[in-house]
Amino acid sequence: DAGITQSPRHKVTETGTPVTLRCHQTENHRYMYWYRQDPGHGLRLIHYSYGVKDTDKGEVSDGYSVSRSKTEDFLLTLESATSSQTSVYFCAISESGQAPYNEQFFGPGTRLTVL
């Protein structure tokens, strides 16, 4: 199994509070991704990183920010959580970011509930 951990695994928070989710990898892969999974939508890309301090937006980036200060860690921050951000969040890693070497491996997920 790819060495990807996410923390916390479960979190309940209140509307308006800041929340930070952490993804940690031991594979030294260059590319890291944050997805959210919601019923009826499959998984959708929020943000991704293509190197230390290099990040870019995905499909559903509004209300989220990310940071990557080390190769192994990729943080997702909800500056002011809203109920629409209740979801399961997955981190993924990839060696190269482009086919044919872009097989993505996923972490265990974080279940976030915003009340």
Partner 1 sequence: GIQVEQSPPDLILQEGANSTLRCNFSDSVNNLQWFHQNPWGQLINLFYIPSGTKQNGRLSATTVATERYSLLYISSSQTTDSGVYFCAVEVPHYNTDKLIFGTGTRLQVFP
Cβ atoms of residues 30 and 50 within 8 Å: yes
Per-residue x/- track, 9-38, partner 1 (CB under 8 A): ----------------------x-x-----
**Residue from 7, 8, 14, 41 that binds partner 1 (CB under 8 A)?**
41
Classify 51 in phi/psi space as left (phi over 0), alpha (psi -120 to 50) or beta. left
Q: Does residue 97 interact with partner 1 by CB under 8 A?
A: yes
Q: Does residue 64 interact with partner 1 by CB under 8 A?
A: no
**Residue from 76, 90, 93, 112 that binds partner 1 (CB under 8 A)?**
90
Q: Does residue 82 interact with partner 1 by CB under 8 A?
A: no
Q: How far is the CB of 45 from partner 1 (least distance, A)?
A: 5
Q: How far is the CB of 16 from partner 1 (least distance, A)?
A: 27
Alpha-carbon dihedral 49, 53, 59, 63, rounded to 10 degrees? 130
Nearer to partner 1, 65 or 104 (CB): 104
Burial 2-22 (b: 16+ CB within 10 A, else e): eebebeeeebebeeeeebebe
- What is the C-alpha to C-alpha distance for residues 93 and 105, in angstroms, rounded to an integer? 5
The footprint of partner 1 (CB under 8 A) covers 31, 33, 40-45, 48, 50, 54, 56, 58-59, 88, 90, 94, 97-100, 102-106, 108-109
